[in-house]
Structure 1
Amino acid sequence: MKIILSGSLGNIGKHLTIKLINAGHDVTVISSNADRKTAIENLGAKAAIGSVSDSDFLIETLTNADAVFAMTPPNLGGANVIVNTENAGKSFAKAIEKTGLKRVVMLSSIGADLPNGTGPIAGLHKIEEIYRNLNTSVTFLRAGFFYTNFYHDIPMIKGAGIIGSNYPADIKIPFVHPEDIAQAAAEELVQTSQGKNVRYIISDVRTPGDAAKVLGTAISKPELPWIEFTDEQALEGMTQAGLPEEIANLYVEMGNGLKSGKIAEHFTTSKASVDGKIKLEEFAKEFASNF
């Protein structure tokens, strides 16, 4: 199959590219960074350098393809993040319609069933709504909270000896490892299923308190505490770390959505399976090696 992947060679893209190349597929990887061209080609894939917000570029790239893995950058610009995310989805939709592409796997998120109150996830909700009107087969691959987000907490752990956010230690959060997302995407891209389908990809369901204990133990800090910050404290910490205020506010809103349980509610009530293989304890080994 001729398969197009967006997301360059990031946490998901590199694993997915390797899986599909090893399975014998003709793979093209979209990247906005021309410096990635050689690395992409070294994996045996073709490189398409351009922006996922450019529908003409996408039309050219998707022509004669069998399937596409469609994802948008998580923080598309420092401002107007939701609008920019939605516009990238519209560009993809235009290219999909124009080229008559038959199979789409969209990287979405837990909470994408909700129109608001979910921070940056709201942009993915808008894209799901756009793709539901496409005359093609679409799987919405709703991923859990990335384990790799914990890497952003390393300065806090080293500087203050704590880890935390604006939600408590005892709520249950569906987590996912990027490698498990890549595996699920590889499976879905070659499916011939019809219509619109939702698949959750979750590696483990744990509490932030579990995460603090398991990660702390892995880095020889077994008493590492999870601290629930106020919204104001979380916002101040993120902006002081250099995050644009709009994005920081969206993350605060997402934290409240996790705290209330509504972001994970559809996953929980739908009794979707936990398909991912990489549990928190295994990720902790990676975390320790990068600490």
Structure 2
Amino acid sequence: MRIAVTTPTGNVGRHVVSALVRAGVRPRVLLRDPDRLSPDIRDDVDAVRVDQYEPDSVAAATEGVGALFWVDPPSEGADPLADYARATDSVVRAVTDNGIGRVVFQSSVGAEKRHGAGEIDGLAHTETALDGLGIDVTHLRCGYFFTNLELQLDALRAGAPLQVILPLDLPMAWVAPRDIAEAAAGRLLSPDWSGRCVQAVHGPADLTWRQVADILSAAVGRRIGVERITDDAMRAQLRQVGMSDRLVEAVLGMSTGLREDFVPEQPRTVRTTTPTTLAAWAYDTLRPQITDASS
């Protein structure tokens, strides 16, 4: 069965590709710029130049594919939910035209709400569309990526505290992108599931932002603080970096939509718990980016 992978240079996709190659699969990888692929992997994949927002292009690129790892690409426009809808049109077209019977979709904790969670609503839209196709589909409901911390690298290097709009004592699932990739690759390769499935990927522990700050402090060898700021203060910061009003609200909504009485549909179990700790990731990945820059 031919397997196609979208966003093969992303935080999750690149690990999915590597896992498939190690399993003896030669995946077809779909991306805008094949030159972005690591030289180490280029000879082991079939790269196809494609824009995921173009249904014709995606359908042509997935001809002959039996299984697909689909990630809605990051929104680059003024209306992110419209971009998610465009990406959804592309995957629906590809599945329908090519008879792709198996899809693993990278979704998020919070997509079960369907509405009211900002950008996550776009993922919910894709989930619903894939469910309507009558194929075998697994939705990976992922926790908060460790790599999101890299968005505040400049502040961390400067010794400034992390700034968040969630309550500092609110626990939530934190997960390593590599662990998400392992779950995705396992689903793509396993014949032992069918129908509509939801697989949560929760990382090893639910953590509060206060705990995260303590873990990062120990890993990087300097005190890292965290402070809660108002929604309006965060809006102002996002607008300062050039985000449109709709994008600002979509980004904020991923936090505001999940901070009041939200309980994930999938509880933490051995099935949803993955091994990589935030401490290990921070020491291996975050520490060099902070300490090397300050030396």
Q: CA deviation at 1:133?
A: 0.7
Indicate which of 269, 274, 277 corresponds to 1:276.
274
1:174–1:206 Cα contact (<8 Å) kept: yes
Matched, 1:60 2:83: no
1:41–1:47 Cα contact (<8 Å) kept: no
**3-state SS in 1 of match to 2:27:** strand
Q: CA deviation at 1:200?
A: 0.5
The gaps in structure 1 that reach 5 residues or longer are none
Aligned identity (percent) is 25
1:78–1:246 Cα contact (<8 Å) kept: no
Q: Distance in 1 between matches of 2:39 and 2:121?
A: 33
**3-state SS in 2 of match to 1:82:** helix
Q: CA deviation at 1:160?
A: 5.7
1:70–1:107 Cα contact (<8 Å) kept: yes
Q: Distance in 2 between matches of 1:43 and 1:91?
A: 27
Query: Which residue in the other structure is 2:216 paired with?
Result: 215
Distance 1:236 1:159, change over 3 A: farther
Query: Which residue in the other structure is 2:293 paired with?
Result: none
Distance 1:261 1:216, change over 3 A: farther
Query: What residue identity is the alignment partner of 1:175?
Result: W
Q: CA deviation at 1:177?
A: 0.7
Q: Cα deviations across residues 30-81 of structure 1 (Å, max 9, x unaligned)?
A: 101243367485251010101112222222222221210011113x223111
The gaps in structure 2 that reach 5 residues or longer are 291-295
1:131-280 pair list within 5 angstroms: 131-159=130-158, 161-192=160-191, 193-203=193-203, 204-222=205-223, 224-262=224-262, 264-268=263-267, 273-280=271-278
2:165–2:234 Cα contact (<8 Å) kept: yes
Query: What residue identity is the alignment partner of 1:48?
Result: V
Q: CA deviation at 1:271?
A: 5.4
Matched, 1:120 2:116: no
Query: What residue identity is the alignment partner of 1:80?
Result: D
Query: What residue identity is the alignment partner of 2:31?
Result: S
**3-state SS in 2 of match to 1:267:** coil
Aligned length: 287
**3-state SS in 1 of match to 2:264:** helix
2:110–2:258 Cα contact (<8 Å) kept: no
Query: Which residue in the other structure is 1:49 paired with?
Result: 49
Q: Distance in 2 between matches of 1:15 and 1:160?
A: 31
Q: Distance in 2 between matches of 1:151 and 1:36?
A: 20
Relative to the length of structure 2, the TM-score reads 0.91
2:77–2:83 Cα contact (<8 Å) kept: no
Q: Bigger CA drift: 7-16 or 44-53?
A: 7-16
Q: CA deviation at 1:238?
A: 2.3
Q: CA deviation at 1:240?
A: 2.2
Q: Distance in 2 between matches of 1:41 and 1:60?
A: 23
